[in-house]
Homo-oligomer: A and B are copies of this chain.
Amino acid sequence: MHSRTPASRPGRPRSAAADAAILAATREALVELGWSKLTLQDVATRAGVAKTTLYRRWAGKNELVVDAVAELFDELRLPDRGSLAADIEGVVLQFAALLDRPECRSGLMAVVAESTRDDLLRERIRGSIVERQKRLVLEGRARATERGELPPEPEDEEEAARTVDLTFDVVAGAVVHRTLVSGKPADEAWVRSFVRVLLLGLAAPS
């Protein structure tokens, strides 16, 4: 294993404070300017840092924004509200609130768009954002299985993973589409309808 903490390399160490300041400044700039008008010089200035310092740590705008946005998603929590439906409603509302924050709206879609032509960037997004948050699905599923609300997990691990992926794509996709494409709020009423369809299907009697 290569030295992760290189036993203090020679020379002046990188400022730890700078990283945090830069990410915060990036989010601040995203709020005020949005992705396309955000400039790295502006971020550097807001962070009280030189542009070179910024380039020493991130390869470019995309990578920086991925990291800045990724931190936001770690705030998500799966509440225990007693039933699967209520639990999902809770986390979906949090997710909707997150997507309502301008730094998230502007940044997330932009890097996803860039990632369609940049495989490294896609992997970075998947690693930093998508896969990290599948923990929520896993946790909810486990809790629901325990409660008897869902059938036991299939023994086939791949099959189980596919179900998690599908669930995540449906939930995340629906909320993102509602919020950013349709441009309507994912409010409590909508979330209730959505979770109903998710659990019971479209064909269920209303």
Task: Report the copy number of this chain in the oligomer.
Answer: 4
Q: Which residues from chain B contact A169 at a C-beta distance below 8 Å?
A: 174, 177-178, 181-182, 194
Interface size of A in residues (CB-CB distance below 8 Å): 57
Q: Let me know if A166 and B190 touch, CB within 8 A.
A: yes
Q: Per DSSP, are chain A's interface residues mostly helix, strand or loop, or mixed?
A: helix
Q: Which residues from chain B contact A205 at a C-beta distance below 8 Å?
A: 151
A203 within 8 A of B: yes
A142 within 8 A of B: no
Which residues of chain A from 45 to 62 have any CB-CB distance to chain B below 8 Å in the complex?
none
Q: Which residues from chain B contact A150 at a C-beta distance below 8 Å?
A: 202-203
Task: Please choose the segment from A1-9, A17-25, A71-79, A106-114 that sits at the chain B interface, where 4 or more of its residues have CB less than 8 A away.
Answer: A106-114
Which residues of chain A from 157 to 206 have any CB-CB distance to chain B below 8 Å in the complex?
162-163, 165-170, 172-178, 180-184, 190, 193-194, 197-206
A126 within 8 A of B: yes
Q: Let me know if A181 and B125 touch, CB within 8 A.
A: yes
Which A residues form the contact surface with B (CB < 8 A)? 34-36, 84, 102, 105-106, 108-110, 112-117, 122, 125-126, 130, 149-151, 154, 162-163, 165-170, 172-178, 180-184, 190, 193-194, 197-206
